[in-house]
Chain A
């Protein structure tokens, strides 16, 4: 995954080779989806926004000045697309309770641990809050790392920050998250022990 590859794919797109854009989507869908999720995930709109962002990027491709920086440019487009989505949907969203945890409870879950789904949604809420409490600059790299398991190089290519900067950000964010989630962590550990004891 190196930047020269991006530039080559962009050139091919500009020459009318749509397949090349397919490759760019493959390379960046995790990042674009995670960014959309970071802004509007709680409304279940991440996938729609990600698609819109890719279409917008394709349309505007001739305006991209530095093909080497396709990733950072795509990040800007995704952020803008998400912001537009939120603005457009603001009136509706005011009347809708955000869904912190959209995953439905499976029958298996319900049978095994009646409280499981609730606990999980509580845990999710706490993690969301912990991420939101981070300095703004840390948040997107954290979401890219933990939602999509992107590595440092991939994150750096997309945010436009150097690999060392990303390493520093994730180190400091990691410390802060460890502190704010310590309690939850202990509780999880206890739950796990309880489960082991009752098997």
Chain B
């Protein structure tokens, strides 16, 4: 039979109903024959009863869930762990001095990013997305059709019509359209243009020509076209889309343009042509004002403009989705590829992909790459190797600046990169 000391150590768990069947049998067998332990058990029970009874009056006696759920705050934007461990990994040699040299600029950037994150209040919530009002038709002439992606209905566009997210517009041979987007950002569409207003900061153009005067905001404004994308913050520019190319002309401000393999920055009076697979992107000087004369003929209706100001309020947005910046010291080795590492997170869902912009120490664009979102779905995978495309002048570059930008404006799941390294053969 078990000793009294052994049994005494089981008493509390017995009272609490937490003994295994075997332990319970041992205790009960002992108790049936030992008066001392029976008394100890009784005392322990009555102490527990006293505690339950007295404290029980203060027990939580209703469900807190409705109250908590009714006032749920915004979740913090996904924190970005930026390159605290940016390293250089040249395969033939490893020397800690390289590591330190690589780390210094990265630390400075990390500090800046942390400060940025502290300023960050929240990322705008995703509403019942597709019906949000984002703009208004402020000029309309000729035949223009509109449709929403959620239905096959096509209707004629009227002046002062409210424009919702994900709405398509199509102008015919002698039509002109102007949409004022929350901000306000002015957008004019030429004849024979098909476009889609994704939201107040993103437009996609299938074909035709648009002119934009983008209101400055902390968020970037994007125009996507079949041949390449345009990213700006606040500027006036023109985009002409044909089936195989997109011509971008800038009147004021800076515009970043990219196709699937290259990117460049345009300044006022500059123009470039985006063609899929074409690199590098050549710039030419043009008379921007002349080229945009067509847009001058389209002016907003004063009444519509006033109505717009009263009804469409800009969303206040405090923060940009963080861009991760990595700086790699190549020590003049010719880089063959760049690897990106992350910690796989078991989240099934909509991972966003990343656009990778690589520049040299003068911030001269070298090339652009892309990590597709689906690689993050594979839990076995934690690395992506981006091979430097042929023809990129990568020799004799002592430092590479690598910017990693999420490639979507939807609330897709982001992946923080833990290490970015340059490899040379």
Contacts and interface: CB of A to CB of B under 8 A. Distances in A.
- Answer yes or no: are A and B bound together in one complex: yes
Interface of A: 11, 13-16, 18, 21-22, 25-26, 29-30, 33-34, 37, 41, 46-47, 50-51, 54-55, 58-63, 102-103, 120, 123-124, 127, 142-143, 145-149, 151-152, 167, 170-171, 174-175, 177-178, 181-182, 184-185, 188-189
Interface residues of B, number: 44
A188 B50 CA distance: 9
A174 B68 contact: no
A143 B17 CA distance: 17
A61 B46 CA distance: 42
A41 B58 contact: yes
B59 A127 contact: no
B50 A62 contact: no
A115 to B, nearest CB: 16
B126 interface: yes
B56 to A, nearest CB: 7
B36 to A, nearest CB: 14
B67 A147 contact: no
A61 to B, nearest CB: 6
Contacts of B79: 62-63
A106 B69 CA distance: 33
Contact of B52 (A15, A54, A146): A146
A11 B72 contact: no
A22 B65 CA distance: 6
A25 B71 CA distance: 13
Query: Which of the listed residues A16, A37, A41 has the most CB atoms from chain B within 10 Å of its own CB?
Result: A16
A146 B59 CA distance: 9
Interface in B18-35: 18
A29 B60 contact: yes
Nearest to A186: B46
B296 interface: no
A140 B349 CA distance: 38
A38 to B, nearest CB: 11
B74 A59 contact: yes
Nearest to A177: B47
A175 to B, nearest CB: 8
Given A15-B413, A177-B51, A171 B76 contact: no
A185 B16 contact: no
B13 A181 contact: no
A149 B65 contact: no
A3 B77 CA distance: 25
B63 interface: yes
A75 B97 CA distance: 43
Given A25-B65, A47-B60, A185-B46, A127 B55 contact: yes
B64 A33 contact: yes
A147 B52 CA distance: 7
Given A22-B68, A22-B69, 19 more contacts: A15-B413, A21-B72, A22-B65, A26-B63, A29-B60, A33-B60, A37-B58, A41-B58, A46-B58, A58-B72, A58-B75, A59-B73, A61-B75, A123-B50, A146-B52, A174-B15, A178-B47, A181-B47, A185-B47
A61 B65 CA distance: 17
Given A62-B78, A152-B16, A26 B65 contact: yes
A96 B323 CA distance: 51
Give the 4 A-B residue pairs with the shortest CB-CB distance, closest first.
A174-B12, A146-B51, A33-B60, A171-B12
A174 B49 CA distance: 12
B382 to A, nearest CB: 16
Contact of B43 (A47, A123, A185): A185
Contacts of B55: 127, 143, 146-147
Contacts of B67: 51
A181 B50 contact: yes
A46 B64 CA distance: 11
A66 B73 CA distance: 22
Contacts of A50: 60, 64
Contact of A167 (B13, B57, B74, B78): B13
Given A59-B75, A147-B55, A15 B349 contact: yes
B94 interface: no
A55 B65 CA distance: 11
B346 A16 contact: no
A189 B16 contact: no
A55 B64 contact: no
Contact of A21 (B16, B46, B51, B69): B69
Query: Which of the listed residues B55, B74, B346 has the most CB atoms from chain A within 10 Å of its own CB?
Result: B55
Contacts of A181: 47, 50-51
B9 interface: yes
Contacts of A47: 60, 64
B48 interface: yes
A16 B126 contact: yes
A54 B63 CA distance: 13
Contacts of A51: 64, 67-68, 71
A127 B64 contact: no
A68 to B, nearest CB: 11
Contacts of A147: 55-56, 58-59
A54 B68 contact: yes
B305 to A, nearest CB: 36
Contacts of A142: 51
Contact of B347 (A11, A170, A171): A11
A142 B16 CA distance: 12
9 contacts: A14-B347, A22-B68, A25-B69, A61-B76, A62-B75, A103-B57, A124-B54, A146-B51, A175-B12
B113 to A, nearest CB: 15
